[in-house]
Amino acid sequence: MITILVITALLMLICPPSSCLSESYGVSYQLRDQHGSTSYRLNVVVPQSLYEYYAGKNHHLVTENDFAKFITPHSLQPIADSLLEIYADREDFINGALMIVHQIPYQATSPPRYPVETVVKNEGDCDLLSYVLASILKGGGLDVVLLYYESDSHMNVGINMQSAPRDSRGEVYYVTHDGKRYYTTECTGSDWQTGWRVGECPEELKNASVQIVTLENPEQNVAGQVSASYSILTPTTLMLRASTSWMIQGSTTTIEGQLSPHLQNKNITVYVRTSNSPWTVLNTFATDSGGKFSFSWNINTSGTCHIRANWSGDEDFAAADSPVLTITILSTLFILFLTIILVIVSIGVTTYLISRQPKQTAIEPQPPKLRLN
Protein backbone atom coordinates (compact mmCIF):
# COMPACT_ATOMS: atom_id res chain seq x y z
CA MET A 1 0.00 0.00 0.00
CA ILE A 2 2.82 2.42 0.92
CA THR A 3 4.51 1.73 -2.42
CA ILE A 4 1.32 2.53 -4.36
CA LEU A 5 0.80 5.77 -2.44
CA VAL A 6 4.38 6.86 -3.10
CA ILE A 7 4.05 6.09 -6.82
CA THR A 8 0.81 8.06 -6.98
CA ALA A 9 2.40 11.06 -5.28
CA LEU A 10 5.36 11.00 -7.65
CA LEU A 11 3.09 10.81 -10.70
CA MET A 12 1.07 13.80 -9.57
CA LEU A 13 4.30 15.77 -9.35
CA ILE A 14 5.98 14.71 -12.59
CA CYS A 15 2.88 14.02 -14.74
CA PRO A 16 0.29 16.71 -14.03
CA PRO A 17 -2.88 16.69 -16.17
CA SER A 18 -2.98 19.30 -18.90
CA SER A 19 -5.33 20.59 -21.55
CA CYS A 20 -5.42 23.42 -24.04
CA LEU A 21 -8.16 25.06 -26.00
CA SER A 22 -8.17 25.07 -29.80
CA GLU A 23 -9.53 27.41 -32.40
CA SER A 24 -11.08 27.16 -35.84
CA TYR A 25 -10.17 28.82 -39.12
CA GLY A 26 -12.88 30.56 -41.13
CA VAL A 27 -12.98 31.71 -44.74
CA SER A 28 -15.78 32.93 -47.04
CA TYR A 29 -16.25 32.51 -50.80
CA GLN A 30 -18.46 34.44 -53.17
CA LEU A 31 -20.71 32.58 -55.61
CA ARG A 32 -23.38 33.42 -58.16
CA ASP A 33 -25.95 31.36 -59.98
CA GLN A 34 -25.60 30.29 -63.60
CA HIS A 35 -27.40 33.43 -64.79
CA GLY A 36 -25.41 35.80 -62.62
CA SER A 37 -28.58 37.21 -61.10
CA THR A 38 -28.21 35.85 -57.55
CA SER A 39 -25.16 36.07 -55.31
CA TYR A 40 -24.24 33.85 -52.37
CA ARG A 41 -21.57 33.82 -49.69
CA LEU A 42 -20.39 30.39 -48.58
CA ASN A 43 -18.86 30.33 -45.09
CA VAL A 44 -16.35 27.54 -44.53
CA VAL A 45 -14.89 26.67 -41.12
CA VAL A 46 -11.90 24.36 -40.64
CA PRO A 47 -11.44 22.95 -37.11
CA GLN A 48 -7.91 23.20 -35.79
CA SER A 49 -7.87 19.46 -35.11
CA LEU A 50 -8.56 18.73 -38.79
CA TYR A 51 -5.88 21.15 -39.94
CA GLU A 52 -3.27 19.68 -37.57
CA TYR A 53 -4.22 16.15 -38.63
CA TYR A 54 -3.40 16.88 -42.28
CA ALA A 55 -0.40 19.07 -41.42
CA GLY A 56 1.12 16.07 -39.64
CA LYS A 57 0.67 13.65 -42.54
CA ASN A 58 3.36 12.63 -45.02
CA HIS A 59 3.82 15.33 -47.68
CA HIS A 60 6.59 13.72 -49.71
CA LEU A 61 6.26 13.05 -53.43
CA VAL A 62 8.27 10.13 -54.81
CA THR A 63 6.49 9.50 -58.11
CA GLU A 64 3.60 11.06 -60.01
CA ASN A 65 1.28 8.44 -58.51
CA ASP A 66 1.74 10.13 -55.13
CA PHE A 67 -0.36 13.07 -56.38
CA ALA A 68 -3.47 11.02 -55.68
CA LYS A 69 -2.88 10.93 -51.90
CA PHE A 70 -3.57 14.67 -51.72
CA ILE A 71 -7.15 14.23 -52.92
CA THR A 72 -9.43 14.26 -49.84
CA PRO A 73 -13.11 14.29 -50.90
CA HIS A 74 -14.44 13.38 -47.46
CA SER A 75 -12.87 16.39 -45.76
CA LEU A 76 -14.36 18.85 -48.28
CA GLN A 77 -17.67 17.09 -48.92
CA PRO A 78 -19.68 19.74 -46.98
CA ILE A 79 -18.48 22.29 -49.56
CA ALA A 80 -19.68 20.03 -52.36
CA ASP A 81 -23.03 19.52 -50.61
CA SER A 82 -23.47 23.28 -50.24
CA LEU A 83 -22.71 23.84 -53.93
CA LEU A 84 -25.26 21.20 -54.91
CA GLU A 85 -27.91 23.18 -53.01
CA ILE A 86 -27.69 25.98 -55.59
CA TYR A 87 -26.31 24.14 -58.64
CA ALA A 88 -28.51 21.23 -59.67
CA ASP A 89 -26.84 20.95 -63.07
CA ARG A 90 -23.53 19.08 -63.20
CA GLU A 91 -21.76 21.66 -65.36
CA ASP A 92 -22.96 24.52 -63.14
CA PHE A 93 -21.74 22.58 -60.10
CA ILE A 94 -18.28 22.24 -61.66
CA ASN A 95 -18.08 25.92 -62.58
CA GLY A 96 -19.32 26.84 -59.10
CA ALA A 97 -16.44 24.85 -57.58
CA LEU A 98 -14.09 26.68 -59.95
CA MET A 99 -15.38 30.00 -58.59
CA ILE A 100 -14.17 28.92 -55.15
CA VAL A 101 -10.75 27.77 -56.35
CA HIS A 102 -10.23 30.96 -58.38
CA GLN A 103 -10.59 32.98 -55.16
CA ILE A 104 -7.54 31.32 -53.61
CA PRO A 105 -4.50 33.52 -54.42
CA TYR A 106 -1.78 31.91 -56.51
CA GLN A 107 1.49 31.35 -54.66
CA ALA A 108 4.32 28.96 -55.52
CA THR A 109 4.41 26.46 -52.66
CA SER A 110 6.76 23.69 -51.58
CA PRO A 111 6.33 21.05 -50.27
CA PRO A 112 2.79 20.26 -51.43
CA ARG A 113 -0.18 20.58 -49.06
CA TYR A 114 -3.44 18.82 -48.50
CA PRO A 115 -6.65 20.71 -49.48
CA VAL A 116 -7.56 21.53 -45.87
CA GLU A 117 -4.15 23.17 -45.43
CA THR A 118 -4.60 25.17 -48.64
CA VAL A 119 -8.00 26.43 -47.50
CA VAL A 120 -6.51 27.57 -44.17
CA LYS A 121 -3.39 29.11 -45.71
CA ASN A 122 -5.53 30.68 -48.49
CA GLU A 123 -2.82 30.33 -51.10
CA GLY A 124 -1.41 27.71 -53.44
CA ASP A 125 0.00 26.96 -56.87
CA CYS A 126 -1.43 24.91 -59.74
CA ASP A 127 -1.11 21.51 -58.07
CA LEU A 128 -2.54 22.63 -54.72
CA LEU A 129 -5.49 24.34 -56.42
CA SER A 130 -6.06 21.21 -58.48
CA TYR A 131 -6.12 19.09 -55.32
CA VAL A 132 -8.80 21.37 -53.83
CA LEU A 133 -10.97 21.30 -56.95
CA ALA A 134 -10.63 17.54 -57.45
CA SER A 135 -11.51 16.92 -53.79
CA ILE A 136 -14.67 19.06 -53.99
CA LEU A 137 -15.79 17.43 -57.23
CA LYS A 138 -15.05 13.92 -55.97
CA GLY A 139 -17.03 14.82 -52.86
CA GLY A 140 -19.90 15.67 -55.18
CA GLY A 141 -19.72 12.24 -56.82
CA LEU A 142 -17.98 13.15 -60.10
CA ASP A 143 -15.41 11.09 -62.00
CA VAL A 144 -12.21 13.15 -61.85
CA VAL A 145 -8.55 12.75 -62.84
CA LEU A 146 -5.49 14.93 -62.41
CA LEU A 147 -3.77 16.14 -65.59
CA TYR A 148 -0.01 16.52 -65.13
CA TYR A 149 2.03 18.40 -67.75
CA GLU A 150 5.55 17.45 -66.72
CA SER A 151 7.38 19.42 -69.42
CA ASP A 152 5.40 22.54 -68.47
CA SER A 153 5.59 21.95 -64.69
CA HIS A 154 1.83 22.38 -64.54
CA MET A 155 -1.27 20.57 -63.35
CA ASN A 156 -5.01 20.93 -63.80
CA VAL A 157 -8.06 18.66 -63.61
CA GLY A 158 -9.95 16.47 -66.05
CA ILE A 159 -13.68 15.83 -65.49
CA ASN A 160 -15.73 13.13 -67.12
CA MET A 161 -19.00 14.46 -68.58
CA GLN A 162 -21.62 12.70 -70.67
CA SER A 163 -21.77 15.59 -73.12
CA ALA A 164 -19.55 18.50 -74.06
CA PRO A 165 -19.74 21.58 -71.80
CA ARG A 166 -22.23 24.07 -73.21
CA ASP A 167 -20.86 27.15 -71.40
CA SER A 168 -17.28 26.82 -72.61
CA ARG A 169 -16.13 29.93 -74.45
CA GLY A 170 -14.50 28.75 -77.64
CA GLU A 171 -13.19 25.31 -78.57
CA VAL A 172 -13.73 22.53 -76.02
CA TYR A 173 -10.70 20.43 -74.97
CA TYR A 174 -10.54 17.00 -73.40
CA VAL A 175 -8.33 13.93 -72.98
CA THR A 176 -9.44 10.35 -73.43
CA HIS A 177 -8.82 7.60 -70.87
CA ASP A 178 -10.42 4.13 -70.85
CA GLY A 179 -12.82 5.24 -73.54
CA LYS A 180 -14.09 8.23 -71.51
CA ARG A 181 -13.67 11.93 -72.17
CA TYR A 182 -12.21 14.04 -69.39
CA TYR A 183 -12.70 17.74 -70.10
CA THR A 184 -9.83 20.01 -69.08
CA THR A 185 -10.47 22.33 -66.15
CA GLU A 186 -7.91 25.03 -65.34
CA CYS A 187 -7.62 25.99 -61.66
CA THR A 188 -5.30 29.01 -61.75
CA GLY A 189 -6.57 32.54 -62.20
CA SER A 190 -7.68 35.26 -59.81
CA ASP A 191 -10.97 36.39 -61.37
CA TRP A 192 -13.68 34.17 -59.94
CA GLN A 193 -16.46 35.73 -62.05
CA THR A 194 -14.84 35.45 -65.49
CA GLY A 195 -12.21 32.76 -64.84
CA TRP A 196 -11.68 29.46 -66.60
CA ARG A 197 -14.67 27.16 -67.10
CA VAL A 198 -14.79 23.42 -67.61
CA GLY A 199 -13.73 22.51 -71.16
CA GLU A 200 -11.52 25.55 -71.63
CA CYS A 201 -7.75 25.20 -71.91
CA PRO A 202 -4.84 27.68 -71.71
CA GLU A 203 -3.18 28.25 -75.07
CA GLU A 204 0.23 26.88 -74.00
CA LEU A 205 -1.32 23.55 -72.94
CA LYS A 206 -3.47 22.81 -75.97
CA ASN A 207 -0.82 20.64 -77.62
CA ALA A 208 1.23 19.76 -74.57
CA SER A 209 1.98 16.19 -73.52
CA VAL A 210 -0.08 15.22 -70.50
CA GLN A 211 -0.03 12.38 -67.98
CA ILE A 212 -3.36 11.22 -66.55
CA VAL A 213 -3.37 10.44 -62.82
CA THR A 214 -6.44 8.42 -61.88
CA LEU A 215 -8.18 8.74 -58.51
CA GLU A 216 -10.02 5.46 -57.97
CA ASN A 217 -9.52 5.11 -54.20
CA PRO A 218 -8.46 8.39 -52.63
CA GLU A 219 -8.37 9.06 -48.90
CA GLN A 220 -8.32 5.54 -47.50
CA ASN A 221 -8.34 6.75 -43.88
CA VAL A 222 -10.87 9.53 -43.38
CA ALA A 223 -10.79 12.08 -40.58
CA GLY A 224 -13.18 14.93 -39.84
CA GLN A 225 -14.70 17.47 -42.20
CA VAL A 226 -14.92 21.19 -42.69
CA SER A 227 -18.29 22.86 -42.12
CA ALA A 228 -19.94 24.94 -44.85
CA SER A 229 -23.08 27.05 -44.86
CA TYR A 230 -24.64 30.11 -46.50
CA SER A 231 -25.74 31.38 -43.09
CA ILE A 232 -23.96 32.26 -39.86
CA LEU A 233 -23.58 29.03 -37.93
CA THR A 234 -24.62 28.62 -34.29
CA PRO A 235 -21.54 28.09 -32.07
CA THR A 236 -21.09 24.76 -30.29
CA THR A 237 -18.76 23.44 -27.60
CA LEU A 238 -17.30 19.99 -27.08
CA MET A 239 -15.97 18.80 -23.73
CA LEU A 240 -13.73 15.80 -23.13
CA ARG A 241 -12.50 14.18 -19.92
CA ALA A 242 -10.64 11.03 -18.91
CA SER A 243 -11.09 8.95 -15.77
CA THR A 244 -7.39 9.41 -14.99
CA SER A 245 -4.49 11.55 -16.15
CA TRP A 246 -1.99 8.72 -15.71
CA MET A 247 -2.14 4.99 -16.06
CA ILE A 248 -0.04 1.87 -16.33
CA GLN A 249 0.67 0.28 -19.69
CA GLY A 250 -1.98 -2.28 -20.61
CA SER A 251 -4.67 -0.83 -18.35
CA THR A 252 -7.95 0.78 -19.41
CA THR A 253 -9.29 4.30 -19.02
CA THR A 254 -12.75 5.69 -19.71
CA ILE A 255 -13.06 8.68 -22.01
CA GLU A 256 -16.28 10.74 -21.85
CA GLY A 257 -17.42 13.78 -23.77
CA GLN A 258 -20.44 15.95 -24.41
CA LEU A 259 -21.54 18.16 -27.28
CA SER A 260 -23.45 21.35 -26.49
CA PRO A 261 -26.16 22.01 -27.58
CA HIS A 262 -27.15 18.42 -26.82
CA LEU A 263 -27.48 17.06 -30.35
CA GLN A 264 -28.17 13.37 -30.93
CA ASN A 265 -26.59 11.04 -33.50
CA LYS A 266 -23.72 13.39 -34.33
CA ASN A 267 -20.45 11.72 -35.26
CA ILE A 268 -17.55 12.69 -33.00
CA THR A 269 -14.05 12.02 -34.34
CA VAL A 270 -11.43 11.26 -31.69
CA TYR A 271 -7.78 11.99 -32.52
CA VAL A 272 -4.77 10.69 -30.62
CA ARG A 273 -1.02 11.11 -30.77
CA THR A 274 1.84 9.89 -28.62
CA SER A 275 4.93 11.94 -27.78
CA ASN A 276 5.93 13.83 -30.95
CA SER A 277 4.13 11.62 -33.45
CA PRO A 278 1.45 13.13 -35.76
CA TRP A 279 -2.26 13.00 -34.95
CA THR A 280 -4.13 9.87 -36.02
CA VAL A 281 -7.81 8.96 -35.91
CA LEU A 282 -8.62 6.69 -32.99
CA ASN A 283 -12.30 6.13 -33.80
CA THR A 284 -15.65 7.80 -34.43
CA PHE A 285 -18.49 7.77 -31.89
CA ALA A 286 -22.14 8.88 -32.08
CA THR A 287 -23.72 11.12 -29.45
CA ASP A 288 -26.77 9.99 -27.46
CA SER A 289 -29.92 11.99 -26.72
CA GLY A 290 -27.99 14.13 -24.23
CA GLY A 291 -25.16 14.88 -26.65
CA LYS A 292 -22.86 12.53 -24.72
CA PHE A 293 -20.49 9.81 -25.85
CA SER A 294 -18.06 7.55 -24.01
CA PHE A 295 -15.74 4.62 -24.64
CA SER A 296 -13.18 2.47 -22.87
CA TRP A 297 -9.64 2.72 -24.14
CA ASN A 298 -7.01 0.08 -23.48
CA ILE A 299 -3.53 1.48 -24.06
CA ASN A 300 -0.70 -0.95 -24.75
CA THR A 301 1.94 1.69 -25.41
CA SER A 302 3.85 3.87 -22.96
CA GLY A 303 4.82 7.51 -22.84
CA THR A 304 2.85 10.74 -23.09
CA CYS A 305 -0.44 10.50 -24.96
CA HIS A 306 -2.56 13.41 -26.21
CA ILE A 307 -6.22 13.00 -27.07
CA ARG A 308 -8.83 15.37 -28.50
CA ALA A 309 -12.32 15.16 -30.01
CA ASN A 310 -13.93 17.01 -32.89
CA TRP A 311 -17.40 17.53 -34.30
CA SER A 312 -17.39 18.76 -37.89
CA GLY A 313 -20.64 20.71 -37.57
CA ASP A 314 -23.50 20.79 -40.07
CA GLU A 315 -25.60 23.27 -42.03
CA ASP A 316 -26.89 24.86 -38.80
CA PHE A 317 -24.14 24.45 -36.19
CA ALA A 318 -20.46 25.32 -36.30
CA ALA A 319 -17.73 22.75 -35.80
CA ALA A 320 -16.18 22.30 -32.38
CA ASP A 321 -12.92 20.93 -30.98
CA SER A 322 -12.48 19.72 -27.44
CA PRO A 323 -9.53 20.74 -25.28
CA VAL A 324 -6.49 18.49 -25.62
CA LEU A 325 -6.12 15.99 -22.80
CA THR A 326 -2.73 14.65 -21.76
CA ILE A 327 -2.44 11.16 -20.30
CA THR A 328 0.84 9.67 -19.10
CA ILE A 329 1.23 5.90 -19.53
CA LEU A 330 3.96 4.24 -17.50
CA SER A 331 5.52 1.04 -18.76
CA THR A 332 5.27 -2.05 -16.60
CA LEU A 333 9.07 -2.24 -16.52
CA PHE A 334 9.21 1.28 -15.09
CA ILE A 335 6.70 0.37 -12.38
CA LEU A 336 8.71 -2.76 -11.53
CA PHE A 337 11.95 -0.77 -11.43
CA LEU A 338 10.37 1.95 -9.26
CA THR A 339 8.95 -0.65 -6.89
CA ILE A 340 12.34 -2.34 -6.50
CA ILE A 341 13.99 1.03 -5.80
CA LEU A 342 11.37 1.87 -3.19
CA VAL A 343 11.79 -1.52 -1.51
CA ILE A 344 15.58 -1.11 -1.42
CA VAL A 345 15.23 2.40 -0.03
CA SER A 346 12.76 1.17 2.60
CA ILE A 347 15.12 -1.61 3.67
CA GLY A 348 18.01 0.83 3.82
CA VAL A 349 16.05 3.34 5.89
CA THR A 350 14.87 0.61 8.27
CA THR A 351 18.40 -0.73 8.68
CA TYR A 352 19.73 2.75 9.34
CA LEU A 353 17.09 3.49 11.98
CA ILE A 354 17.81 0.23 13.75
CA SER A 355 21.53 0.93 13.76
CA ARG A 356 20.95 4.34 15.37
CA GLN A 357 19.10 2.99 18.40
CA PRO A 358 21.16 3.31 21.70
CA LYS A 359 22.76 0.10 23.00
CA GLN A 360 21.97 -1.11 26.54
CA THR A 361 24.99 -2.30 28.63
CA ALA A 362 24.38 -5.52 30.49
CA ILE A 363 25.20 -5.39 34.30
CA GLU A 364 27.14 -8.44 35.39
CA PRO A 365 26.07 -9.87 38.76
CA GLN A 366 28.60 -9.29 41.59
CA PRO A 367 29.63 -12.23 43.79
CA PRO A 368 28.30 -11.99 47.35
CA LYS A 369 30.65 -10.48 49.91
CA LEU A 370 31.73 -12.61 52.90
CA ARG A 371 31.15 -11.21 56.37
CA LEU A 372 33.71 -12.08 59.01
CA ASN A 373 32.59 -12.22 62.58
From 165, 187, 214, the end of a domain falls on 214
Kindly report the CATH number assigned to the domain that includes residue 316.
Answer: 2.60.40.730
Helices (H) and strands (E) in the chain, counts: 7, 17
> Could you tell me if residue 170 is inside a domain?
yes
Residue 331 confidence (pLDDT): 65
- Give the single-character DSSP code of 358: P
Residue 205 confidence (pLDDT): 95
The number of folded domains in the chain is 2
Judge if 54 and 187 occupy the same domain. Answer: yes
Residue 4 confidence (pLDDT): 42
Residue 302 confidence (pLDDT): 80
Judge if 198 and 275 occupy the same domain. Answer: no
> Which residues have a Cβ under 8 Å from the Cβ of 275 and sit 6 or more positions away?
303, 304
Give the SS3 label for residue 242. Answer: strand
Judge if 286 and 195 occupy the same domain. Answer: no
Give the SS3 label for residue 63. Answer: coil
Judge if 68 and 184 occupy the same domain. Answer: yes
Residue 365 confidence (pLDDT): 59
Judge if 56 and 150 occupy the same domain. Answer: yes
Judge if 207 and 83 occupy the same domain. Answer: yes
> Could you tell me if residue 353 is inside a domain?
no
Judge if 208 and 269 occupy the same domain. Answer: no
> Could you tell me if residue 49 is inside a domain?
yes
From 182, 214, 246, the end of a domain falls on 214
Judge if 195 and 269 occupy the same domain. Answer: no
Judge if 247 and 207 occupy the same domain. Answer: no
> Could you tell me if residue 349 is inside a domain?
no
Residue 340 confidence (pLDDT): 73
> Which residues have a Cβ under 8 Å from the Cβ of 69 and sit 6 or more positions away?
58, 218
Task: Give the residue numbers spanning the domain of 125.
Answer: 24-214
Kindly report the CATH number assigned to the domain that includes residue 35.
Answer: 3.10.620
> Could you tell me if residue 297 is inside a domain?
yes
Rounded CA-CA distance 127/149 in Å is: 11
Residue 275 confidence (pLDDT): 77
> Could you tell me if residue 344 is inside a domain?
no
Judge if 188 and 86 occupy the same domain. Answer: yes
Residue 347 confidence (pLDDT): 77
* Strand intervals (E) in the chain: 24-32, 39-47, 144-149, 154-160, 174-177, 180-185, 211-214, 227-229, 237-242, 246-248, 252-260, 267-274, 280-286, 292-298, 303-311, 320-321, 325-330
> Which residues have a Cβ under 8 Å from the Cβ of 123 and sit 6 or more positions away?
104, 105, 106, 107, 109
Judge if 163 and 63 occupy the same domain. Answer: yes
Judge if 82 and 173 occupy the same domain. Answer: yes
> Could you tell me if residue 220 is inside a domain?
no
pLDDT tens for each residue of the chain, 373 residues long: 444 434 443 443 333 444 444 577 889 999 998 777 789 999 999 999 999 999 999 999 888 888 999 999 999 999 999 999 999 899 999 999 999 999 999 999 989 999 999 999 999 999 999 999 999 999 999 999 999 999 999 999 999 998 999 999 989 999 999 999 999 999 998 889 999 999 999 999 999 999 999 998 777 678 899 999 999 888 899 999 999 888 888 888 999 999 999 999 999 999 999 877 899 999 999 999 999 999 998 888 788 899 999 999 888 888 899 999 999 888 665 555 556 777 777 776 777 777 776 655 555 555 655 555 4
> Could you tell me if residue 355 is inside a domain?
no
